[in-house]
Structure 1
Amino acid sequence: MRIDEAAEAYLRHLEQVRRLSPATVRAYRSDLAGLHAACGDSELADIDLEALRDWLWQAVQRGDSRATIARRTAAVRGFFAWATETEAVDADPSLRLVSPKRGKTLPKVATAETLDELLTAMAEAAAAGDPGALRDHAVLELLYGAAVRVSELCGLDIDDLDPDRRTVRVLGKGAKERVVPFGLPALRAVEAYLVRGRPVLAARAVEPGGTTASALFLGARGGRLGPRAVYDLVSRRLGPELGAQVGPHALRHSAATHLLDGGADLRAVQEILGHASLGTTQIYTHVSSERLTASYRLAHPRA
């Protein structure tokens, strides 16, 4: 079996059997496409440890980050573990492949004051009634208020909202569903968008009443709002405040950190974020302690 044929079979396995998220499958597809490009139309059984090491070395030479190389290592290990299990190959050449340690980088977090000023300014802009401004305000309020991922936000339907309980039902990684709360400012922003913004955007749809009819957030042409548009929005609005290229995850990071700063229980934050492991959530305790240390050094006369 050629490597490209095996890769397609493996990706189908990830989608249909393991039911991984579309974003995860896309990442695996990209990594395996890179392996295919490096090895050519080789037979899967002809790929050995040296070929895999050479592929990763090319990534190092290109200047790819440790996190990217570690992800590619994990992708190829999963691929060959599956190939060995299905007897596509006799032995797994990736067993001795060493993954680089990821650098310990803390997520970028905006202060509560910064976000309050930003969201207040967006609320004032939305008050004029522009449908795009109403939507953008609701998007940022919900990203921060519910600490959801951008893929979860873009996948929301109107029926996923429960205004009375102020909760939203989201479909997270691994097709796991959870219900998360959000605050009154987010509710007001979303309701204003639903009444005055969404109907205008829906009227622009090429196929009114089509597959995006139930989508909560719509783009300029009436289709379901995509992650790229949300990335652009957050980068444009929050990037200048943080002095860096940031995406929607910065609002999720900020929400988690502010919850812990405010005394929320770590396991409650884990449930809100939808993390499978408590260890993933614990990074925000480090962010909080870093902020505490920075405040101490600025404020204490004997620091």
Structure 2
Amino acid sequence: MPDNVLQFLHLEERQAVSVVLKYKAKLIDKGLKEATVNRRLAAVKSLVEMGRKLGACHYTLADIKGEKVTSYRDTTGVDAGTFEQILRQCDRTTLAGKRDYALLRLLWGNALRRNEISQLSLCDFDPGSRTLRVLGKGRGSQSEMVDLGAATVEAIADWLDAKGGNSSPDAPLFSALDFANSGHRLTGDGICKIVVRHSEKAGIKKQMSPHRIRHSAITAALDATDGNVRKVQKLSRHKNLNTLMVYDDNRGRDQQDVTEMLDGMF
């Protein structure tokens, strides 16, 4: 170990705590983010713990607390009217247009993630019961059934009918159509490119992605249900209701409403 590390480990607890608190203050003065400060403090604490195990020191830094991290999640998206403009860019007289239209409707109507769509196979789609079996995020090999809207079922069936070809149950529900990858499963990156292409054609200035559409759909659902987070949780499939509350908080304009009220008092 370097001499300065050993010197630090050999300090008395009061001295060591003082050194680390000064180090923490310097990190904050530098303008480092709370999470960065906490990571560096954690590294020092790990060093001390290892030193205790090896008998190089006899104190602990447990009383030194990290900075409180306030996470911000950007859940902004586009409204239904704007998304409709994106849908209109799909030329449904072509095979690619039919596929893209079905994919976009599924992204919006069920707020699916791009990897969830990429993993879909023909056997997962049941037009009769209007359901789709989805391998959800963080669920390992466990799948769940989600209900589909009538228009989405019709769009997917139209795409599959036009595509023809491989009807194996394990065949991808959405496949690539370019010469090099024709018939292969559409990747998450491929889905992202489709979203970006049609969004740009629609003149959307906001940076779009499959997850941005998911944000848009969840926010639109909260608006349509007057903020019924438990009902919308069935759509978003968030395990933690607090995650969905972030969407509800971000869509609200409570602070502006209160400010306008106060501003109009005199």
* Partner of residue 207, structure 2: 245
Higher helix share: 1
* Partner of residue 179, structure 1: 145
Are residue 118 (structure 1) and residue 95 (structure 2) matched?
A: no
Q: Which amino acid aligns with 2:112?
A: V
The residue correspondences of 1:261-280 to structure 2 (distance < 5 A) are 261-263=223-225, 265-280=228-243
Q: How many residues align?
A: 211
Distance 1:94 1:185, change over 3 A: farther
Q: 2:120 aligns with which of 150, 156, 181?
A: 156
Distance 1:241 1:110, change over 3 A: farther
Structure 2: how far apart are the matches of 1:292 and 1:101?
A: 22
Identity of aligned residues (%): 26
Using the TM superposition, give the Cα deviation of residue 292 of structure 1 relative to its aligned residue in structure 2, in angstroms: 11
CA RMSD of superposed structures (Å): 4.0
Q: Which amino acid aligns with 1:195?
A: D
Question: Which of 1 and 2 has greater Rg?
Answer: 2
Distance 1:90 1:235, change over 3 A: farther
Runs of 5+ consecutive residues of structure 2 not aligned to the other structure: 1-19, 55-59, 261-266
Q: Which amino acid aligns with 1:279?
A: N
Structure 2: how far apart are the matches of 1:291 and 1:214?
A: 48
Runs of 5+ consecutive residues of structure 1 not aligned to the other structure: 1-49, 203-207, 298-303
CA deviations 1:31-53 (Å, max 9, x no partner) are xxxxxxxxxxxxxxxxxxx9xx9
Distance 1:215 1:94, change over 3 A: farther
Structure 1: how far apart are the matches of 2:221 and 2:124?
A: 23
* Partner of residue 229, structure 1: 190
Higher RCO, 1 vs 2 (CA within 8 Å, ≥6 residues apart): 2
Structure 2: how far apart are the matches of 1:66 and 1:134?
A: 47
* Partner of residue 169, structure 1: 133
- Give the conservation status (yes or no) of the 8 Å contact 2:133–2:144: yes
Structure 2: how far apart are the matches of 1:229 and 1:66?
A: 36
State TM-score, norm by structure 2.
Answer: 0.64
CA deviations 1:50-96 (Å, max 9, x no partner) are 9xx9xxx9xx99x9x988x69x95xx99xx8xxx9xx9x959x9987
CA deviations 1:16-44 (Å, max 9, x no partner) are xxxxxxxxxxxxxxxxxxxxxxxxxxxxx
Using the TM superposition, give the Cα deviation of residue 227 of structure 1 relative to its aligned residue in structure 2, in angstroms: 0.6
* Partner of residue 260, structure 1: 222
State TM-score, norm by structure 1.
Answer: 0.57
CA deviations 1:106-152 (Å, max 9, x no partner) are 31211111112321332xx02x23x2222111111111111111111
Are residue 142 (structure 1) and residue 106 (structure 2) matched?
A: yes
